[in-house]
């Protein structure tokens, strides 16, 4: 049972760093519940890492960033609220939850229930392990005033959920507490209501802890800084079109509405560029005119203002934990469901792409044994979140399924020196932008993407249902302006690495590096590993990336974190660097099928998603596979 091993080894590391006197025998330590840590999980909605939103949250900095560990390379695996949250609460990739959209038939709360997860997901496992579980705010899209009790979301000792169609109404939200009827909060500022409710449950949880020793797991999920959405349809279903809803900038609390008047979206090189970029509908976007840029800067300021009430809530919750004397035995995790974009690649406000702005998101944790004011570059994902909470609490899933992620080492150091360097990003269905000028509603926004980030290289590789492809060299082109897939197949990309020995020879000169203005937020990403620069042909690199994506697109369990083991059961290839050796050229070029779609679909229709990896496609097999 691999998961258990992972958990056990993580707990050992964790406890070793908390107290060297404990857990030396390698056994999973038996903690009585009174010594088990509490967890407070603050989960915002659509918060970016790449437009500096964290810099505008001073309390978050004081209490969590400066006192904890920031994961610079934390990624969601599907950049859309409901599918991302379901992956987080189940520990499964979206292709294994098949909750791939925000509304039925392919997603939303009813699909979560239909797939059986309401009987088998994280809060239930935590209750099994003796935790009191509490939730305030948005759980899933599509949990609505008409379906909230059929059935109620399971697993929460205390809950107060935001319900559609009023989830994103900053000044008229509807909440639904425990098994009570929904209540409308007209003219009340939603984040302040969330904060009041959070304090109420926190008092309950602290009292219970005091009286019975029961630890708590508490999620507070405000909707900020998501846009304000007026959903026109009462019955939300799959017939989504331009008229289904009206989106406007998030509304700040009255006390914050005049802040940041001079602030604009950071003008990174990919902000509203002169040349279009990306693939598919993105490559056809017009440059934004000044009216649109101005409106979108206002949209951006509105997000920063809306986050201020979240920041105040962070402050008050941490103070309450401190006053109760439990802060030192509480892990506080801060994250969001997916990232956000405004203007990069000429896009209107929105998410759902595999660009860095949409998938690389805040993930910060403070708590017992965790380094303070530190950051790490290990690659972690939202499918690791459930395994991490299991590891922290000593809980485990009672069911048969193996989770697709692995517990995050909370000292920020790779456990066995070869933690995953990849993220499998998935998306199905339509895309809709959220600004005033954004009613771009493109039907075929279905793709599979692989984000690889090693010491010496970084790539984003995307295969769209239309047959289009993208490849970005993240070390040379961190703003993703130059799609290498369009260039000559024989062109070369650079790999900086410590050992040049693995580098295939290439007579092709490498493309001129893009000139990038110095950006302090990116300098930390440039680890300068090794001084050797070697070149590899783009085509040869693509065969490798495609093969890993081929495994990942239907992976489950350990295969999702160790895809190279599926291709090389003999264990000789563990990373992309290993795989680049020329001796594998024939294998990658001719023995592994290519990722492709037969048709664009709005959900996960397996028959339309082309060939899948099978166990004959392994290195060292003699027989040929049949390509169609
Ligand atoms: C607020 O929401 C309620 C439904 O919960 C609705 O009946 C009411 O009309 C809304 N008020 C405004 C001002 O939109
Ligand atoms: C920009 O485009 C919008 C709509 O396409 C238009 O209403 C506006 O006048 C334009 N602004 C400028 C400065 O051209
Ligand atoms: C790489 O180039 C060197 C020197 O040009 C040559 O000796 C070596 O055999 C080449 N290796 C491969 C794998 O082609
Ligand atoms: C979307 O994909 C479907 C099925 O592959 C195709 O028939 C349709 O033309 C595509 N639409 C657009 C706008 O590309
Ligand atoms: C995913 O769910 C949809 C909608 O229920 C269904 O049509 C599809 O077959 C499912 N996909 C898989 C791979 O089970």
Selected residue with higher pLDDT from 162 and 492:
162
Token pair in block for residue 341: 């974009």
Q: Which ligand is nearest to the CA of 436?
A: 2
Complete DSSP assignment for 390-423: HHHHT----SSPPPSS-PPPTTSS-SSS----EE
The SS3 call for residue 367 is: coil
Which ligand does the CA of 286 lie closest to? 2
Residues designated catalytic: 81
Q: Cα separation of 226 and 432, whole Å?
A: 14
Question: What pLDDT does 97 receive?
Answer: 98
Phi-psi region of 600 (alpha: psi -120 to 50; beta: other; left: phi over 0): beta
> pLDDT at position 411, please?
80
Which H/E stretch holds residue 73?
Answer: strand 69-75
Per-residue model confidence (pLDDT) at position 493: 65
492 — pLDDT class (breaks 50, 70, 90): low
DSSP secondary structure letter of residue 458: E
- Cα torsion through 495, 497, 502, 506, rounded to 10: 30
Angle in degrees, 0-180, between the axes of helices 385-393 and 2-18, rounded to the nearest 10: 60
Tokens 């797991």 map to which residue? 217
CA–CA separation, 444 vs 148, rounded Å?
31
| Best-predicted range by mean pLDDT (159-168, 228-237, 503-512) | 159-168
The pLDDT of residue 433 is: 87
Q: Following DSSP, what letter does each residue of 524-536 receive, concatenated?
A: TT-----SEEEEE
Whether ligand 5 lies within 6 angstroms of the CB of 104 is answered as no
Q: Is the beta carbon of 536 within 6 A of some atom in ligand 4?
A: no
| Residue ranges of domains in the chain | 2-423, 446-626
CA of 172 to the centre of ligand 1 (A): 6
Q: What is the pLDDT of residue 525?
A: 34
Which whole number is the average pLDDT over 428-446? 86
Whole-number Å distance between alpha carbons of 236 and 103: 7
pLDDT reported for residue 234? 54
Nearest residue to 97 (alpha-carbon basis) of 74, 79, 117: 117
Report the nearest atom of ligand 5 relative to the CA of 106.
4
Residue 215 CB contacts under 8 Å (≥ 6 apart), including other chains: 33, 34, 36, 37, 38, 130, 131, 132, 209, 393
Q: What's the pLDDT at 9?
A: 46
CB-based contact 107:83 (threshold 8 Å): yes
Please report which helix (H) or strand (E) contains residue 541, including its range.
helix 538-552
Instruction: Report residue 7 CA to chain centroid gap.
Output: 21
Q: Which backbone phi and psi does 230 adopt, to 5 degrees? A: -105, 110
Q: Look at residue 173 and give its three-state secondary structure.
A: strand
* Ligand 1 near 166 CB (within 6 A): yes
Architecture of domain 2-423: 3-Layer(aba) Sandwich (3.40)
Give bridge partners of residue 70 from the DSSP assignment.
Answer: 364, 375
* 435 — pLDDT class (breaks 50, 70, 90): confident
Q: Are strands 228-231 and 69-75 parallel, antiparallel or unpaired?
A: unpaired
Q: Which residues pair with 230 in a beta bridge?
A: 246
Highest mean pLDDT among 170-179, 503-512, 526-535: 170-179
pTM: 0.88
Looking at residues 601-620, what average pLDDT do you find? 95
Q: Which of 368, 575, 275 is nearest to 455 (CA)?
A: 575
In 3D, which of 178, 159, 223, 205 has the Cα closest to residue 320? 205
The answer, yes or no, to whether any atom of ligand 1 lies below 6 A from the CB of 103, is no
- Residue 516 Cβ < 6 Å to ligand 5: no
Ranges of H-type helices in 213-353:
290-323
Nearest to residue 345, comparing CAs of 277, 438, 445?
277
What are the pLDDT digits (tens) for 195-231? 999 999 999 999 999 999 999 999 999 999 999 998 8
Between the CA of 352 and the centroid of ligand 4 the distance, in Å, is 18
Percentage of the residues of the chain whose pLDDT score is greater than 70: 82
pLDDT band at 47 (very low <50, low <70, confident <90, very high): very high
Cβ pair 112, 140 in contact under 8 A: yes
Query: CA-CA distance, 490 to 192, in Å (whole number)?
Result: 57
pLDDT one-digit tens code per residue, 82-138? 999 999 999 999 999 999 999 999 999 999 999 999 999 999 999 999 999 999 999
Q: What is the average pLDDT across 421-439?
A: 90
Average pLDDT over residues 260-274: 98
CA nearest to 205, candidates 158, 161, 162: 158
- Kindly give the distance from the C-alpha atom of residue 576 to the centroid of ligand 3, in angstroms, as a whole number: 20
Spatial separation of the C-alpha atoms in residues 223 and 242, rounded to whole Å: 22
Closest by CA position to 108, among listed 154, 149, 141, 147? 141
In whole angstroms, what is the distance from residue 477 CA to residue 202 CA? 45
Pocket test for ligand 3, best of 502, 505, 506 (most atoms within 8 A of CB): 505
195, 203 Cβ separation under 8 angstroms = no
Nearest CA to ligand 3 atom 10: 505
pLDDT bin (cut points 50, 70, 90) of residue 72 is very high
Give how far the C-alpha of residue 143 lies from the chain's centroid of Cα atoms, to the nearest Å: 21
Ligand nearest to the CA of 606: 5
- CA gap 319, 321 in Å, rounded: 5
Inter-CA distances, 38 with 216, 368, 384, 394, Å: 5, 10, 19, 12
β 431-432/69-75 pair status = unpaired
Q: Is 505 in the pocket of ligand 3 (CB under 6 A)?
A: yes
């Amino acid at each position: 049972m691999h998961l258990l091993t992972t958990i056990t080894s993580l707990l050992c590391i964790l406890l070793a760093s908390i107290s060297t006197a404990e857990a030396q025998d390698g056994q999973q330590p038996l903690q009585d519940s009174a010594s088990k840590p509490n967890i407070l999980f603050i989960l915002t909605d659509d918060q970016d890492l790449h437009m500096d939103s964290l810099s505008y949250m001073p309390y978050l900095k004081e209490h969590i960033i400066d006192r904890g560990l920031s994961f610079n390379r934390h990624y969601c695996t599907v950049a859309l609220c409901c599918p991302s949250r379901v992956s987080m609460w189940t520990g499964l990739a979206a292709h294994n939850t098949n909750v791939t959209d925000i509304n039925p038939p392919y997603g939303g709360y009813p699909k979560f229930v239909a797939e059986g997860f309401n009987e088998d997901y994280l809060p239930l496992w935590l209750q099994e392990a003796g935790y009191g579980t509490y939730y305030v705010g948005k759980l899933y899209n599509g949990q609505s005033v008409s379906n909230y009790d059929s059935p109620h979301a399971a697993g929460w000792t205390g809950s107060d959920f935001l319900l559609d169609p009023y989830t994103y109404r900053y000044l008229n939200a509807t909440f639904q507490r425990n098994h009570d009827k929904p209540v409308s909060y007209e003219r009340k500022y939603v984040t302040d209501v969330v904060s009041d409710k959070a304090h109420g449950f926190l008092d309950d949880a602290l009292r219970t802890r005091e009286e019975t020793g029961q630890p708590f797991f508490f999620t507070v999920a405000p909707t900020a800084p998501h846009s304000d959405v007026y959903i026109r349809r009462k019955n939300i279903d799959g017939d989504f079109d331009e008229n289904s809803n009206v989106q406007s900038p998030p509304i700040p609390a009255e006390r914050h509405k005049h802040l940041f008047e001079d602030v604009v979206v950071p003008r990174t090189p990919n902000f509203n560029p002169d040349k279009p970029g990306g693939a598919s509908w993105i490559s056809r976007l017009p440059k934004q005119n000044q009216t649109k840029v101005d409106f979108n800067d206002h949209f951006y300021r509105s997000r920063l203002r809306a986050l201020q009430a979240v920041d105040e809530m962070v402050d008050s919750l941490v103070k309450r934990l401190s006053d109760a004397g439990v802060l030192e035995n509480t892990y506080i995790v801060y994250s969001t469901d997916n990232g956000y974009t405004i203007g990069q690649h000429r896009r209107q406000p929105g998410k759902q792409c595999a660009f860095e702005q949409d998938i690389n998101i805040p993930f910060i944790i403070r708590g017992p044994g965790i380094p303070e004011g530190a950051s790490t570059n290990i690659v972690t994902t939202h499918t690791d979140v459930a395994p991490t909470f299991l590891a922290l609490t000593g809980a485990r899933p009672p069911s048969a399924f193996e989770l697709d992620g692995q517990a995050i080492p909370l000292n920020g150091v790779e456990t066995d020196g070869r933690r995953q360097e990849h993220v499998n990003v998935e998306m199905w269905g339509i895309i809709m932008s959220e600004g005033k000028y954004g009613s771009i509603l493109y039907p075929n926004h279905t793709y599979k993407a692989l984000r690889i980030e090693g010491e010496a290289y970084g790539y984003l590789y995307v295969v769209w249902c239309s047959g289009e492809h993208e490849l970005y060299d993240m070390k040379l082109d961190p703003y993703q302006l130059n799609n290498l897939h369009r260039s000559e197949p024989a062109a070369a990309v650079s790999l900086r690495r410590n050992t040049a020995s693995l580098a295939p020879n290439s007579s092709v000169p490498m493309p001129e590096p893009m000139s990038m203005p110095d950006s302090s937020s990116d300098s930390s990403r440039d680890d300068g590993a090794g001084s050797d620069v070697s070149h590899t042909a783009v085509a040869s690199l693509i065969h490798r990336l495609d093969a890993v994506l081929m495994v990942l697109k239907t992976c489950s369990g350990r295969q999702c974190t160790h895809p190279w083991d599926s291709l090389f059961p003999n264990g000789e290839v563990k990373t992309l660097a290993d795989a680049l050796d020329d001796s594998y050229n024939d294998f990658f070029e001719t023995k592994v099928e290519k990722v492709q779609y037969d048709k664009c679909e709005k959900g996960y229709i397996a028959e339309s998603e082309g060939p899948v990896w099978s166990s004959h496609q392994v290195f060292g097999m003699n027989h040929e596979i049949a390509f169609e």
